[in-house]
Amino acid sequence: MPTDVVTMDKIVALCKRRGFVFPSSEIYGGLASTYDYGHYGVLLKRNVKDAWWRAMLQERDDIVALDAAILMSPKVWEASGHLASFTDPLVDCRRCGQRFRADHLGELECPEKPSKHPGEGPNCDLTEARDFNLMFETTIGPVKESGAEIYLRPETAQGIFVDFPQVMQTARKKPPFGIAQIGKSFRNEITPGNFVFRTREFEQMEMEFFVPPPDAPRWFEHWLDARMSWYVDLGIRPDHLRLRPHEEDELSHYSSATSDVEYLFPIGWSELEGIANRGDFDLRAHARHSGKKLEYFDSATNERYVPHVIEPAAGADRATLAFMVDAYDEEDVEGETRTVLRLHPQLAPVKVAVLPLVRKDGLPELAREAYEALKPVVQAEYDEGGSIGRRYRRQDEIGTPWGVTVDHQTTEDRTVTLRDRDSLEQTRVAIDELPDEILRRLREPWRSPKLDA
């Protein structure tokens, strides 16, 4: 099925039905654009983040990890330029009282006339655009007094810049090297929406790569390639992914070149990740404001310089949503529609489900034995409730790549059938060989069957 029939509504419904992601504080009517991740959502997003860490840390030797605090000195945001310029242009409608991002009017709907954009309805009465700072402000300490204002970080990157000297020293690294971080960020978005695509609280996966200044253009190209390959290797169809270089007037104040990795969501091509050449903007700004030296001294050449920075900045929630959208499929099996998430096995929340054919004749006991052998090795699930067809459909819907059925033959020769989610092929495998067989399959290269559809 081509992706254009995958609607956001179908993804939202599947997420709710199977407890991947659902509205937050729902018993109180929810809080607009905030979501909670349930069991399968946690497992899926964790696998996305693990794949990112693996690509950044385990498979390289020039990047180290960091987990900086969300709350930082307010001086950080003064130096970074966020207090002055982390703003979006906002317009109010005097008629309906709603607020809109002035630069997104063409994509938004007038609440009174949903067929029109804000400002185009017969009664619309928009104010002039004014800048609205996206940082969430709160106060530190028991008394709300002036000087106690702090901010929830709107990006994880600044934690990396201010920790640069500390990390470089303790990790014994010299440019080119990177610092990677995954964590929550907060932005008081004027118009959040499209499920977890744009929320006010979200998780970022950011890496700042510090390089000798003349090498920055080459490293920028390197990271464009590396990040595109990451999505493709994890199963995203290449024709649904593109790199879009920013126009001159789109570039952030700190960037000399930025390209967005975009995915063809049901809402159209939209940003998944930004890859920017930030030059020496951040290190110089923090050096100026803090009075500390944020530079590298090369004792071999007696040279001192401020490294330039290449930043791939991705969203964990957006990436998780893209992987789900790309994997979503419906197919006709014997007159019934099968909904299946054709996720890369490494991303699938559950790798293998163990299902006894019936709840008698010693089959549940053998199935439990197989499950206990798999559990220490991979995320596995045991299910004996309902018909075998129903149980398989439940697993297909959450993207479980392999299903083990324990049947009467198992009581005779201790073999089970191993069913493949995509090809529906069934092979017989000995219970004792199951953990090794699943691990072997997990390591095999994988290709989305939607590419051949």
Which residues lie below 8 Å from residue 416, measured CB to CB, with a gap of 6+?
370, 404, 405, 406, 407, 410, 428, 429, 430, 431, 434
Binding flag, residue 178, ligand ATP (CB under 6 A): no
Work out whether 395 is an interface residue with ligand ATP (CB under 6 A): no
CA distance 209 to 281: 13
Note whether 112 binds ligand ATP by CB under 6 A: no
| Min separation Cβ 228 and ligand ATP, Å | 14
Told to check if 331 binds ligand ATP by CB under 6 A, we report no
Which DSSP state fits 233?
Answer: H
- 300 Cβ neighbours under 8 A, 6+ residues apart: none
CB closer to ligand ATP, 187 vs 278: 187
Piece of 212-220, 310-318, 326-334, 348-356 that binds ligand ATP (CB under 6 A) = 310-318
If DSSP codes are grouped into helix, strand and coil, which group holds residue 365? Answer: helix
76 or 314: whose CB is closer to ligand ATP? 314
Q: Which residues contact 89 (CB under 8 A, 6 or more apart)?
A: 101, 102, 103, 129, 130, 131, 132
Burial class (CB in 10 A: 0-12, 13-18, 19+), 217: middle
Which CB, 312 or 435, lies closer to ligand ATP? 312
Residue 321 interacting with ligand ATP (CB under 6 A) = no
Segment contacting ligand ATP by CB under 6 A, of 13-21, 124-132, 170-178, 313-321: 313-321
CB atoms within 10 A of CB 286: 21
Q: Given the structure tokens 């090794």, which residue do they identify?
A: 436
State the nearest-atom distance from the C-beta of 253 to ligand ATP, in Å: 12
Q: In angstroms, rounded to a whole number, what is the distance separating the alpha carbons of residues 375 and 364? A: 16
Closest by alpha carbon to 403, among 345, 320, 347, 360?
Answer: 345
Q: Does 273 bind ligand ATP (CB under 6 A)?
A: yes
Which part of the chain contacts ligand ATP (CB under 6 A), choosing from 70-78, 270-278, 327-335, 371-379? 270-278
The nearer residue to ligand ATP, 317 or 326, going by C-beta atoms, is 317
Question: Please, which of residues 50-89 interact with ligand ATP by CB under 6 A?
Answer: none
Helix (H), strand (E), coil (C) string for 376-387: CCCCEEECCCCC
**Cis preceding linkage at 114, omega within 30:** no
For residues 231 and 392, which CB has a smaller minimum distance to ligand ATP in the complex? 231
Pick between residue 249 and residue 412 the one whose CB is nearest to ligand ATP.
249
The two three-digit tokens of residue 112, written as one number: 């009174």
Give the closest residue to 290 by CA, choosing from 177, 199, 164.
164
CB 52 within 8 A of CB 59: no
Is 342 a binding residue for ligand ATP by CB under 6 A? The answer is no
Please tell me whether residue 272 binds ligand ATP under the rule CB under 6 A: yes
Q: Which stretch binds ligand ATP (CB under 6 A): 64-72, 268-276, 298-306, 391-399?
A: 268-276
- Is 415 one of the binding residues for ligand ATP (CB under 6 A)? no
Number of residues that bind ligand ATP (CB under 6 A): 16
Among 41, 178, 315, 403, binds ligand ATP (CB under 6 A): 315
Interface segment toward ligand ATP; rule CB under 6 A; list 74-82, 109-117, 239-247, 266-274: 266-274
**How many angstroms separate the Cα of 51 from the Cα of each of 81, 149, 398, 443?**
32, 37, 19, 13
Nearer to ligand ATP, 35 or 210 (CB): 35
Closest among 439, 415, 409 to 429, alpha carbons compared: 415
Confirm or reject binding of residue 271 to ligand ATP (CB under 6 A): yes
Nearer to ligand ATP by Cβ, of 187 and 351: the residue is 187
Q: Least distance in Å: CB of 447 to ligand ATP?
A: 25
Q: Does 224 bind ligand ATP (CB under 6 A)?
A: no
* 3-class SS of residue 286: helix
Kindly state whether residue 313 participates in binding ligand ATP, applying the rule CB under 6 A: yes
Q: How far apart are the first and last CA of the chain?
A: 7
Q: How far is Cα 425 from Cα 106, in angstroms, rounded to an integer? A: 48
We find the least distance from the C-beta atom of residue 12 to ligand ATP, in angstroms, to be: 15
Residue nearest to ligand ATP (CB): 315
Longest Cα separation, the chain: 79
Binding track, positions 195-214, relative to ligand ATP; x by CB under 6 A: ---xx--x-x----------
Residue 159 binds to ligand ATP (criterion: CB under 6 A): no
Q: Which residues bind ligand ATP (CB under 6 A)?
A: 155, 187, 189, 198-199, 202, 204, 271-274, 313-315, 317-318
